[in-house]
Chains A and B, each alone.
Chain A
Amino acid sequence: MKKREFLTVFLLLLPVLIYFIFLFIYPFIYGLLLSLTNDEGKFTFANFIKFLSDPWDANTIWITLKIAIPATLLNVLIAMPLAYYMRHGIKGEKLISFLLILPITLGSVFVAEGMLTYMGPNGWLNKILLALKIIDKPYRFTHSYLGVLLALIIQGFPFVFLMLLGYISGIDPTLEKAASILGASRWYIFRRIIFPLWMPGIAMATSLNFVMNFTVFPSAVLLGQPSGPTRVISIAAYQWAFEKFDFHMASAIAIIMGLVELIFILIVMLIRQRFFKIVATSGGKG
């Protein structure tokens, strides 16, 4: 690279580099240092030990996993067949996509506020279910585990679906046609061609959706029982930071949050790799 060219590249990238270092790397290091020190600035693991040894706080990890994992699995399992069905395009695709991105764009606070009325004791959902005689008295959808789970599905399903659709519609349709002409059954085509090619997308969508669900905050407060069964890890971090004003503890919780997310993504990647190996070896034999 010529000197002049190098200068151009460097100067035009400089703003982004400054942004990245000062607004992303530096806060991360700052948080890490906060989590590993006490008020006097001495190095300590006390924040982590305190969080993990206090059942009221440590339990938030399990509570959050118990919400995030089912929500992620449900979203992926509902979205997969739908995206598979829609892979070659479908009638009214534009309208459907618009209706699907609406809850994503509106965000969790609006959806939570809407759900409180819509799914409340006098809300339309209960009225409909009562009229259809599916239930005989108003069912409590909100202020419970179920409320948070429903919120995560309403928000997460379109996200996972559109992402999976993006990946599956990128698979060359001639592969499917060729296999079909050669006499392969639909199930066989799915198992041997579509699924392996789709796997990176599924892994990506699963990881991203889990990470979103694991950091659920407004839905857990507004639609759940934030001082009990839905006291998720974000609530613990928020309370330490803004109710007890202890940013050391809050940063330690944020680091633990990040670690759990990382572990989950590693597990997904590991599963994905195994799948690929199996496909590769059995493909070789066939």
Chain B
Amino acid sequence: MGLEMIPSIFVAGIVVATVCLGLYATRLSRTTSDFYVASRGVSPLWNSSAISGEFLSAASFMGIAGLVMKFGYDALWYAVGYAAGFVFLLLFIAGPLRRFGAYTIPDFAEGRLDSKGMRTVAVVFALAISFFYLMPQMKGAGITLAQLVGSPYWVGVVTVGVVITANVILGGMKGVTLVQAFHYWVKQFAITVPIFVLFAVTGAGYGANVGDAGRLGAKDTGTPIARLAQDVTTKYPAAGELRFTSDGRVEAARTIAARLIAPPTADAPRPIAKAISLEAHRTFEGKQGETLIFPDGAELTLKAGMALPNVPSGEDWIHPFGPLTGTYEHPVLYTYSLVIALICGTAGLPHILVRFYTNPTAREAKKTTFMVIGFLSVFYIFPAMWGAMGRDFIPSLYIDGATDLVTIRLPEQVLTALGDPVLGRVLGGITSAGAFAAFMTAFSGLLVSVAGGFAHDIYGRILRPAASPESRLFAFKVAAAAGGAIAMGLGVLVEDFDIGMLVGWALAIGASTFFPLLLLGAWFRGLTKTGAVAGMIGGGVAAVGSVVFSMLVDKGIAAAPAPLVGTLTSQPAIWTVPLALTLMVGVSLATKSMVPRDARLKMLKLHAPEELGLKADYIED
């Protein structure tokens, strides 16, 4: 047995532990309510662990470290925005939502506004968000397992898919609660302990790493960016770019149409792209500061002697308004819009919101959310440490933009160089197990949400309102099986697609649809169904339209807009969230006659303490 087997043992361990916990949990789950909302009996410690576990997906466990490595300071906002999103959830949504006592978020939409149509609109958005969020988890599992053990891509997807689908079918919400809580602690351990070991063995802590990372490629007193000792050939499945950090030579395997962006000069402060053709097997000479943008499926050989491409300069990396927020000349505006998207998006994710129904009371929902904020606050200090250290120790990840892999690859890289490959593999095994915990828990939460959408909202309420609890329980299982199969199919299909932006889409849609709906649903008595639908559709369409437009610009299909428009379309929350809120309030005021007759009683139920005896859940089974 070789050393390279060590990480896969850890991954196998977390998968087996998940299966065992899942099997154990099936003995606990019997009733319909167990499957949909764990019988509303989850204590704050379990529930906050489970919510934290469910929320810390691949985007948090691997993604933030990768973004910090790639973009530096600006990427810290991701961790801050996610955590702040839960503060907003606590302040405005957690208590009232729990008091409402339903099974799914579309239940809230329908019940609060007395409208069947609301349920349909809400379930469409909820399913769209869940599927967008789910595909990157599947892809992450496939790629990570392929990295670790060289398995074909589909193996990782199917492993995570089968384990979690079985878990959800057998244990429902009650079953996944146990698994999610366990996975939270695995992830917390995996992101903290290995980085401290790495700090100890290298003798350089967080501050030293950030300091070094800030000097890498800096103009005057900086350390130079490493040069390639030999030719490096990389296949890029998705379109990407190569920013030359020194003059260098590149060769393409086949002729491709690319674009070249020259660095800004005093005469031409704004970069201009020109179309070029990269001839097959003919070397292309790139100048320092130029950026080569290439299409999907390019295979490029970077010639020995050129400095690693795509490494941002030390100044750009360590200081605010670097490459992430600075692309469109309005970095402050971009930053604000990003933060709004993250906060409102987090507070508008249906698979997270549904977990609040599992608390016994609103007080416990608030306590749970407070504990989630505490857990996430500890967790989110760490990804940036990985990103900074990764920039110093494995800058080769910049070549193909695979900085997401920094948490997986860093321990092995550092400790092998220091002559302790076994410890390196063990720590790498721990972080890999953490990554798998992230794929599995996020997927489990999403699958419960998808199954709830199909079985409860579409089957149990829209198609067959008279269905018995037993048949709705059966429908949940069927929907979970079907949802799991669809997710695995999609996961296998998207291997060669660039789907990194899908989580961003999910957040953008959540921020501009569910967040305004829940905020106003809980606090604005005059909300009407017409107003809510207008706001959700207006906000959702504006958000998706903007993001699609800016993607077309990135791919060179649409012409680049003015910088202000570019900023506001690539990061639209700063205007789409207010747009959705304004539409909801405005249209509601114009359709006052449609305010539900018992709106006051509904509001009273959302806000009166349970002790007063109004505690009747909207859905009781």
Partners in one complex: no
Q: Which residues of B contact A (CB under 8 A)?
A: none
